[in-house]
Structure 1
Amino acid sequence: MAEFILLLAALFSMVAFSIDSILPALPEIASHMVPDNVNRAQLVITAFVVGAGLGQLFFGPLADAFGRRLSMASGFALYMFAAAAAFGSQSLEALLFWRFVQGLGAAGPRTNAMALTRDLYEGRTMAKVNSMAFTFFVLVPAVAPLIGQSVILSFGWRHMFTTYVLVAFVILLWFLIRQPETHLPENRRSMRLKPMIETFGIVLSNRTTVLYMMIITLAFGQLMSYLSSAQQIFVDVLGTGTSFPLYFALVTLLSAISGFLNSILVIRFGMRRLALIGFVSQTILASATLLYWSVFAPEGNVALWVFVIWSTSLFALNGLSFGNLNALAMQPLGHVAGTAAALIGALPTMLAVLIAAPVGLAFNGTPEPLLIGVTLCSALSVLLIQTDRKNPN
């Protein structure tokens, strides 16, 4: 199980690494391609996220029809091809297109990792495995900006795409050598349009699954809002300069323990209760930080450490949420795990962009738009979880 958890963390990390490692490059991308509107550089993240969401609608049914290994390898191949093509992009439009395609490819590892977990585990055990994977996965956002900045300073921002190709190749090789097929031929479903639509219907007609997909949308929306705004807040507002990746690493490392704690607590207290605690806590902390910032307008080291502490709480409480929410959504759908993982990943990811993009573009020289967005998302999540009080999980 130890190697499986590490492999799972590596597969989940493809999306996070592809987003977080390019954050230090946003100022250079902006100055080279959109010097008159630097906020548009954030769309490099948005385009990838949209692709990663949409791609899951393809790789999920592919995984159910032909097995996890073929679907996984196809996603990695598309990811590496798009990264190589993005290297030579000469305009922001071209870069956004290839980032979108790169996101499509990253959906392969993301979807199949979730389906693999559901093939082998279910319920609270699945949530425990996801949480343990999260403990290692959280190291990726910690080191990704550091890796990105090192590559950018040494070779230029375009060579981030060379790095993506190399990382993807290593993880794919590890997967193909060590992970057997978990979706046996007798359990596979046709990829013809009618059976696919019927399978989508099975997933979307399940009330519990749809409820937790809505909550995952809000959770991912607030996290994407943070990632869209973090570089500008740390650099432009808090003045961290080239130290931004170090503070980002500090935030994610301090919050890493939450995934480990969840893997212990979830068996005793249940997935729903822990997710509820996480969202209630974040509603209180985000609104309190917003009030403090609005009243006192902190500056210097005080402002920096207030934001670092709140950022740590956001990442830590995500550790009490994401693994549990995905397991709750997947619980009723083991017989269509590939397609279920696709929809549970795709729809919230794409809908989260509708939250993150306006919050990121609303940046006004303070963290207040971000804090407002997180407060609203967490509060709405609390209300939605309360509608499922009878769930024993």
Structure 2
Amino acid sequence: MRKVEFVAIVAGLMALNAIAIDIMLPALSAIARDTGLTAEGGDQNRQQLIIFAYVLGFGAPQLIWGPITDRFGRRAPLFIGLIGYVLTALLCIMAHSFWALLAARFLQGVFSSGARTVASAVVRDLFAGRSMASFMSLVMTIFMIVPIIAPTIGQIILYVAPWEGIFVVLAVWGALMLGWTWFRLPESLPKEARRSLEIGSVMTAYLQVIRTRVSFGYMLASGLVFGSLFAFIASSEQVFRDVFDQGDTFAYWFAGIAAALAVSNFANSRLVEKVGMRRISHIALLTFMLSSLVLTLATLAWGENLAVFFPLFALGFACFGMMGSNFSALAMEPLGKIAGTASAAYGFATTMISSIIGMIIGSQFNGTTVPLTLGFVILGAASLVVILVTEKGRLFSRH
């Protein structure tokens, strides 16, 4: 397989998760209304549960998928995950209540986490260190097309069909990836490298992840700072519709922020092998904190202003492109012999920590952007403390 196709396949598998979240954003209010949440007199912030139910389902099951992929190889667990993703998308269409929909979304996240675990494990099977960070940045550059266009696709679907049409698109995407990987993605884990599924062997592998200082530290740092990402995704519709009165153009503003993230991912792919993962990601984290702090202070001083909010917010979000791939590569680098388990642990830690934190911050939405941006500052500072401890007080090292 040529590298360009491999990049596209990995991006497509990771996009299963992104599209399942971002395509929903324009429809959250309509889904909450049609499934009875509004009729129940629920807090409007509860519509965010449509996102978080999926994310919570996506998180913990990775701890099960990881050892399974290390035992049975990459292809079989991938196909199970993709088939389940398609079936649960169809199940969401048949949900007749808000809580039934949340249950179906949770299951969809469970199966999507299998595809995500396999995608990361396959990459680690073939790459390590800066080359892995560079490859993953290329993947993320293509992957970021999804957040750019997904809300627009969701809005277009709502123009011509009810919100159930969104889940039809998710089922079709899952089916396309199933066919593509079935015929084109080879097995990357040879039989002689596979591990036992015995509890003792599995626990030993997870203990190795926890005891590896760099791996555990960057997992925790990622989970903290990426809470900001989930908080914004969950409350983005409310920010642009309620705060800035941009309901009709919400998808375009969201796409602009995602485009900044895509550009930074591409820049990282070009720079990381020369500059180093630590230097780039540490500078990006400090920039994220500073831009979020300036935005918070400006809003408190002069009130909400879209002309101030958007460029500073886009700058902060662009920093995720310089942090995500590098944090992941730093965490995975020492754990190549247990790539499936390591990928699962990283995915679990980052998803569960960030989704819970993101849900807490998102639920604080009060008609202003201050709780959101102030949360960004706090999470950035917490992530920086973890990295300082992990690196024994040193930043920007080329090591």
Using the size of structure 1 for normalisation, the TM-score is 0.96
Matched, 1:178 2:175: no
**Is the contact between residue 148 and residue 256 of structure 2 (CA under 8 Å) also seen in structure 1?**
yes
Q: How much does 1:368 deviate? A: 0.5
Counterpart for residue 99 of structure 1: 105
Counterpart for residue 4 of structure 2: 2
Equivalent position to 1:25, from 24, 27, 50? 27
Q: How much does 1:60 deviate? A: 1.1
CA separation in 2, counterparts of 1:194 and 1:258?
42
Aligned length: 389
Counterpart for residue 37 of structure 2: 34
Counterpart for residue 62 of structure 2: 56
**Is the contact between residue 66 and residue 340 of structure 2 (CA under 8 Å) also seen in structure 1?**
yes
- 1:158-197 matches, within 5 Å, as 158-197=164-203
Counterpart for residue 340 of structure 1: 342
Return the letter of the residue paired with 2:313: S
Q: How much does 1:385 deviate? A: 2.1
Matched, 1:381 2:383: yes
- CA RMSD of the aligned region, Å? 1.3
Structure 1: state its 5+ residue gaps: none
Q: How much does 1:267 deviate? A: 1.0
Q: How much does 1:38 deviate? A: 1.7
Counterpart for residue 152 of structure 2: 146
Return the letter of the residue paired with 1:350: M
- 1:238-317 matches, within 5 Å, as 238-298=244-304, 303-317=305-319
CA separation in 2, counterparts of 1:374 and 1:74?
36
CA separation in 2, counterparts of 1:225 and 1:286?
14
Return the letter of the residue paired with 1:104: V
Counterpart for residue 323 of structure 1: 325
Q: Which moved more, 1:252-261 or 1:177-186?
A: 252-261
Return the letter of the residue paired with 2:146: V
SS of the equivalent of 1:320 reads: helix
CA separation in 1, counterparts of 2:140 and 2:317?
11
Matched, 1:45 2:51: yes
The share of aligned pairs that are identical, in percent, is 36
Q: How much does 1:192 deviate? A: 2.7
Q: How much does 1:152 deviate? A: 2.0
Q: How much does 1:311 deviate? A: 2.8
SS of the equivalent of 1:177 reads: helix
Counterpart for residue 67 of structure 1: 73
Q: Deviations over 1:150-200 (max 9, x none)?
A: 112211111211111100110121112111100011111122322212211
Return the letter of the residue paired with 1:87: I
**Is the contact between residue 121 and residue 339 of structure 2 (CA under 8 Å) also seen in structure 1?**
yes
Q: Deviations over 1:67-125 (max 9, x none)?
A: 11111111111111111111111111111111010000110121111101100000000
SS of the equivalent of 1:364 reads: coil
Matched, 1:203 2:209: yes
Equivalent position to 1:135, from 141, 144, 151? 141
Counterpart for residue 125 of structure 2: 119
CA separation in 1, counterparts of 2:350 and 2:255?
26
CA separation in 1, counterparts of 2:307 and 2:94?
39
CA separation in 2, counterparts of 1:265 and 1:376?
28
CA separation in 1, counterparts of 2:144 and 2:316?
13
**Is the contact between residue 124 and residue 132 of structure 2 (CA under 8 Å) also seen in structure 1?**
yes
SS of the equivalent of 1:287 reads: helix
Q: Which moved more, 1:263-272 or 1:138-147?
A: 263-272
Matched, 1:212 2:218: yes
SS of the equivalent of 1:256 reads: helix
Return the letter of the residue paired with 2:90: A
Q: How much does 1:392 deviate? A: 4.5
Q: Which moved more, 1:281-290 or 1:200-209?
A: 200-209
SS of the equivalent of 1:245 reads: helix
CA separation in 1, counterparts of 2:261 and 2:59?
25
CA separation in 1, counterparts of 2:121 and 2:283?
27
**Is the contact between residue 221 and residue 353 of structure 1 (CA under 8 Å) also seen in structure 2?**
yes
Q: Deviations over 1:260-291 (max 9, x none)?
A: 11112111221111111111001110010000
Q: How much does 1:384 deviate? A: 2.2
CA separation in 1, counterparts of 2:310 and 2:262?
14
SS of the equivalent of 1:319 reads: helix
**Is the contact between residue 199 and residue 336 of structure 1 (CA under 8 Å) also seen in structure 2?**
yes
Return the letter of the residue paired with 1:383: V
Q: How much does 1:383 deviate? A: 2.4
CA separation in 2, counterparts of 1:254 and 1:355?
23
CA separation in 2, counterparts of 1:146 and 1:105?
25
**Is the contact between residue 282 and residue 317 of structure 1 (CA under 8 Å) also seen in structure 2?**
yes
CA separation in 1, counterparts of 2:315 and 2:184?
36
Q: How much does 1:141 deviate? A: 0.3
Counterpart for residue 367 of structure 2: 365
